[in-house]
A = this chain, B = another copy of it.
């Protein structure tokens, strides 16, 4: 575990705290990387969306900070603040922290508070649901592929349509995430065969 051992919390940075923006994978503990497990074991604070924080077992010395959806930027600032005060803060996402998850909020928060760059910040990748679902479905993403978020909560629906059209033109395998309930995936990508995966790797 060369990479994990080489980067202790706060090493070479301001203070002895830091933040780890990590991915818990799609749900099964068997898909959580050892690097992530080690970071969780050393954390003093867990920050994240309520159902993801609930996947971390409580223990003495660990404070859980669950918060609701749509407060990602506040959550990221809170995590950076605590890290600056010397806490070891883990920000949990499901799947991978980069894929439509908290790493984007991290960089948005850093733009507003560049002094937080002096703290120890690391992003730890996770198994994204797209790969887990493809493996379970026997439909490997074996050629060029793309991931499209079908939700129009944070962008105009025209951007969703444009991305789907481009995916067809480029002959990408599609992994579509968060289909809005009013839309079946087939209505966006009418000629595509596909699988619908939900709670991949979770039993509950």
In the assembled complex, the Cα of A126 lies from the Cα of B141 at a distance in Å of: 12
Q: Which of chain B's residues has its CB closest to A108's CB?
A: B142
- Determine whether the beta carbon of A147 is less than 8 Å from that of B141: yes
Interchain nearest-CB distance for A151 vs B (Å): 11
Interchain nearest-CB distance for A78 vs B (Å): 19
A104 cross-chain contacts in B, Cβ below 8 A: 140, 142-143
Q: Which of B124, B145, B147 contacts A135 (CB 8 A)?
A: B124
Q: Which of B98, B134, B145, B163 contacts A147 (CB 8 A)?
A: B145
In the complex, whether A4 has a CB less than 8 A from a CB of chain B is: yes
Interchain nearest-CB distance for A36 vs B (Å): 9
Work out how many copies of this chain go into the complex: 2
Query: Which residues of A in the span 34-83 have a Cβ within 8 Å of any Cβ on B?
Result: 34-35, 38
The contact size tier of chain A is: 35 or more
Q: Mark A159-177, 1 if CB is under 8 A from B, else 0.
A: 1001101110111100000
Q: Which of B2, B4, B141, B167 contacts A170 (CB 8 A)?
A: B167
A144 cross-chain contacts in B, Cβ below 8 A: 146-149, 163
In the complex, whether A112 has a CB less than 8 A from a CB of chain B is: no
Most chain B CB within a 10 A radius of its CB, from A32, A38, A163: A163
Interface residues of A (CB under 8 A from B): 1-4, 25, 28-35, 38, 96-101, 103-104, 106-107, 122-128, 131-132, 134-136, 138, 140-149, 159, 162-163, 165-167, 169-172, 201, 203
Known contacts A125-B135, A162-B170; 12 additional CB pairs below 8 A are A3-B201, A29-B34, A31-B33, A34-B34, A96-B135, A97-B140, A125-B127, A144-B148, A145-B147, A146-B167, A159-B171, A165-B170
